[in-house]
Structure 1
Amino acid sequence: MTTQHLEHTSHAHAHGPGCGHAEVPHGDHVDYAHDGHLHREHGGHWDECEADGHAAHETHEHRHGEDCGHESVLHGDHVDYLHDGHRHAAHDGHWDDH
């Protein structure tokens, strides 16, 4: 799965530890959840961090929800759950691994 490069041109806030936004580990970097988007620093600007494709988390039996114990992050029109360094999102009866 690859990640699109979509520059967030009007983003003046500098994310970092303690900035007030949820930190989301994502491969070799950290995304920051901000107003339903995931932002990643890249080349002196912030990108919208969106994955291409569909990656089902086939062996994920845990059901995420309000009291599941995992942090929830608003992501566009749905909620992702942070679980073991991944973002899980409900999709067609299974969990996607973002």
Structure 2
Amino acid sequence: MTTPVAHKPHTEHDHQHGDTCGHTAFAHEDHTDYAHDGHVHRVHEDHVDECEPVAHRVHAEHAHEHGTDCGHPAVSHGDHTDYVHDGHRHAPHDGHWDDH
């Protein structure tokens, strides 16, 4: 399942993300995302993109309850916490999980 993401370059981003940059890195589909200051970055060609879903996308039939001890990496994202699960991020939203 691919989640459509807007191509949104993060301008004035001098930091170079990579294996030793110090930010939480996690696999996302065919690339690596980095949690940085409450948002998620993706290295894209010669710049860094903000990784934000284009539209609200419910992750249907997701019975697993994410939380502090669920075993999935937790990533601070804006005003909530996303959980990295099977190559994508899950976010709590109105009694269900969204697919980011």
SS of residue paired to 1:79: strand
Q: Which residue of 1 aligns with 2:34?
A: 32
Structure 2 spans left out of the alignment, 5+ residues: none
Structural mapping, 1:1-98, within 5 Å: 1-98=3-100
Q: How many residues align?
A: 98
Indicate the larger mover: 88-97 or 1-10. Answer: 1-10
Q: What TM-score comes out, normalization by structure 2 length?
A: 0.89
SS of residue paired to 2:61: coil
SS of residue paired to 1:20: coil
Q: Report the RMSD for the aligned CA atoms in angstroms.
A: 1.3
Runs of 4+ in structure 1 displaced over 4 angstroms?
Answer: none
Q: Deviations over 1:27-84 (max 9, x none)?
A: 2211111011111112311111111112211121111111212111001111001112
Structure 1 spans left out of the alignment, 5+ residues: none
SS of residue paired to 2:91: strand
SS of residue paired to 1:11: coil
SS of residue paired to 2:48: strand
